[in-house]
Chain A
Amino acid sequence: MAKASSKKKAEEKKPEYIHVTFNRPRQYSWSTGRYLGHFYAEAKENKRIVGNRCPKCKDIWLPPTPVCPKCKVDMGWDWAELPQTGEVYQYTYLVMPLWDPHYGEKWANPYPSAIILLDNGVFYRHRLEETDKDKLRAGIRVQAVWKEDYEERGHGMADILYFKTIDEQEAKRCLQ
């Protein structure tokens, strides 16, 4: 009896943590501005991925920037269309459900988010179509898959649904 009562006492002493919770979201609306705006327009109108080119080092930056981070000079207005194929440089496999902050919907999980090395040597970041983690490795060749309906485009990077695996033979070689 004595034992049971001391156990009960211990339970009663368990501290209660009080939380203050807020559920009201704060709304934002970001202007893309001239540079990112051009990237958005090319995606919507022409299904192109574009970056801008530094007048000094000739490097291409994606997202486009007004100033070359390396040379620290004004980029001017020199644009380059980027290839839509490349290889997976690295990826992370997402299994935690996360909200899409733009639309408030939960992404279907699991899925990989990847850094993609486009065929001209510029990096891009996107989701991969392949969700089977046994079929994923760095080095797999991938290609952008666009939203075909013009009316559905206009959301920048989201105008590309994902990058799909191409060249299955090479993919298999990577996996070996």
Chain B
Amino acid sequence: MTERVGILAVGQTKYCPNRADVSEEELAYEAIKQVLEATGLTLSDIDSAVTCSQDFWDGRTISSMNIQHVVGAHLSHEDKVTEDGINAVYCAMGQILSGHQDIVLVVAHTKESQAEKSLIENAAFDPALMRQLGLDFTSAAAMQAKRYMYKYGITSEQCAKVAVKNRANAKNNPLAQEPMDITIEDVLSSKMLSSPIRLLDAKPTSDGACAMILAPEAKAKKITRKPVWILGASNCYETHYLGDRDLADCDALTKAAQKAYSMAGIKNPLRQIDVAEISEEYTYQELLWMEGLGFCNRGEAGKLIDRGVTKMGGKLPVNPSGGVLSGNPTGVAGMTRVAEAVLQLRGEGSDRQVEGAQVALAHGVTGICGQLQAVMILGNS
């Protein structure tokens, strides 16, 4: 990139199973207030807002109307992204690089508790040819998990290790929804949702919001002493219809990662990246996405978790925050990964800090079996 875009501040609500005490607007505002306080900016200083929310989850057409006041979008610029907040960060970056906007507020919110998760996920499938199969994201993910485990010999124990690691990491994150002391046995004996995915293999229902402020380099340096730079970013879609791609591989993620790496000058991701925050809605996904991100060859991520490469203190800690498994809402989860990467690079990870982190990876995913993949590389120097 010719010019750099900085992230000036990040804010997150605590993630909870049901925030019945607040409206969506108030939830988003909790996160927005944090970034305004951290930067000393007011909503009048914001040139543009990029929001992320989904009409089906909010139960209204044009879900961003919900939060218009709290993003300062009265007689002002606002765009909505409806996939994941990480894509909204990407759009904000583009607005700044275009020269059209300077200070951009990015906000993602979802209250999963207010709607029927399975029905909304089912509505993501083709109305004529897929919805009638009664699939939701979990039952579709079960097919992907089975195919992946069969093709590469990944075991249920290796998947369970992801839950054990991430739920334990969540104990160091005061914002995490469900930190837990669990064993592989606990995961393997938890309630079966859709074979082979069990309750502790899946993320819980979650409410929450995440906010950020972005600005071009010169402004970023004026406003904060510790800006974090977006070094590379990309996303990639793959086919919707199950069966048209091998679910055991994730070519879209490989492509997205390669493009982000080439922008950021990353040739050996395992060596050059200090910490990774990966969107794993199910345990097998952390392993599969690590392969797509090129941290190992295809089918070899099970060995990485066996060898402890991805635990805290390992060569590449993955999800020090506890990950999506410990509870983040869909649509917010990928942006939460960016926020956590920023905290790591600012040295503000407190008990979950990876010492000396200089380059971090954030990954987001939207849709059925990882149909849309987004990768962002961030650095602090």
Contact = CB atoms under 8 A, between A and B. Distances in A.
Interface in B19-62: 19-27, 29, 33, 42-44, 56, 59
Interface stretch (B65-73, B94-102, B242-250, B373-381): B65-73
B116 A26 contact: yes
Interface stretch (A7-15, A66-74, A82-90): A66-74
Interface stretch (B120-128, B149-157, B164-172, B278-286): B120-128
A31 B119 contact: no
Given A26-B116, A26-B120, A29-B114, A67 B43 contact: yes
A122 to B, nearest CB: 16
Contact of B115 (A24, A27, A34, A67): A27
Interface in B71-123: 72, 74, 111, 114-116, 119-120, 123
Interface in A103-125: none
A20 B59 contact: no
A33 B114 contact: no
A26 B116 CA distance: 7
Interface string A23-65: 0101111111111100000000000000000000000000001
Contacts of B120: 26
Nearest to B42: A72
Interface of A: 20, 22, 24, 26-36, 65-74
Given A69-B69, A72-B42, A72-B43, 10 more contacts: A26-B56, A26-B116, A26-B123, A28-B114, A31-B22, A34-B22, A65-B70, A66-B69, A70-B74, A72-B72
Interface of B: 19-27, 29, 33, 42-44, 56, 59, 68-70, 72, 74, 111, 114-116, 119-120, 123, 127-128, 131
Top 8 closest pairs, chain A to chain B, by CB: A33-B23, A69-B74, A72-B43, A28-B59, A33-B26, A67-B69, A33-B22, A72-B72
